[in-house]
């Protein structure tokens, strides 16, 4: 099967390059597109004293996520069509991205037993809600 639209869910970790390299190997023979999605987990501060600082912290975390994605993109010799930075549950973010964009394959990685359980739950949600193929890569 040829995959022409690949969405890669990356964590802000050095081993995420392996996921992107896998996506390039899959998409390149068909001149497919690759998009990246990552989470920007915002702090949950409910103090009125933290309010003024919270906006700056959110902006800083978002900029950090953008910088990570750009550094990841710079490591591969293949064009990346789109990058998405979202917050919330990974599965919901991936489902939304699949509904808004044509996606044939979602590539995710697992970083251990606890994350594997979360990833499998996310993968099940994506498969159930989008009928998109999911590739989970052990990291």
User: What is the average per-residue pLDDT within 68-87?
Assistant: 95
Averaged confidence pLDDT in the chain: 85
pTM above 0.95, yes or no: no
Average the pLDDT over each of 36-40, 81-85, 122-126 and give the range with the smallest value. Answer: 122-126
User: What is the average per-residue pLDDT within 16-44?
Assistant: 90
Position 71 scores a pLDDT of: 96
Domains and CATH numbers, the chain: 5-138 (3.40.50.620)
Q: What is the rounded CA–CA span in Å between residue 46 and residue 77?
A: 43
User: What is the average per-residue pLDDT within 38-61?
Assistant: 67
pLDDT in tens, 50-77: 556 666 777 888 899 999 999 999 999 9
Q: Could you give the percent of the chain with pLDDT greater than 70?
A: 81
DSSP states along 105-130: EEEEEE-SHHHHHHHHHHHHHHHHHH
Q: In what order do the strands lie in the sheet with 105-110?
A: 82-86, 33-39, 5-9, 105-110, 133-138
Q: What is the rounded CA–CA span in Å between residue 18 and residue 24?
A: 10
Position 69 scores a pLDDT of: 96
Whether 119 shows a pLDDT value over 80: the answer reads no
């Amino acid at each position: 099967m040829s995959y022409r639209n690949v969405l890669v869910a990356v964590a802000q970790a050095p081993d995420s390059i392996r996921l992107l390299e896998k996506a390039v190997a899959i998409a390149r023979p068909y001149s497919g597109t690759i998009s990246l999605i990552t989470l920007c987990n915002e702090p949950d501060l409910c103090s009125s004293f933290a309010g003024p600082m919270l906006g700056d912290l959110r902006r800083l975390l978002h900029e950090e996520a953008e910088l990570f994605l750009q550094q990841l993109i710079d490591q591969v010799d293949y064009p990346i069509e789109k990058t998405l930075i979202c917050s919330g549950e990974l599965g919901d973010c991936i489902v939304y991205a699949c509904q808004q964009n044509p996606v044939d394959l979602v590539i995710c990685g697992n970083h251990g037993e606890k994350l594997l359980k979360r990833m499998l739950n996310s993968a099940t949600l994506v498969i159930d809600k989008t009928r998109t193929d999911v590739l989970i890569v052990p990291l």
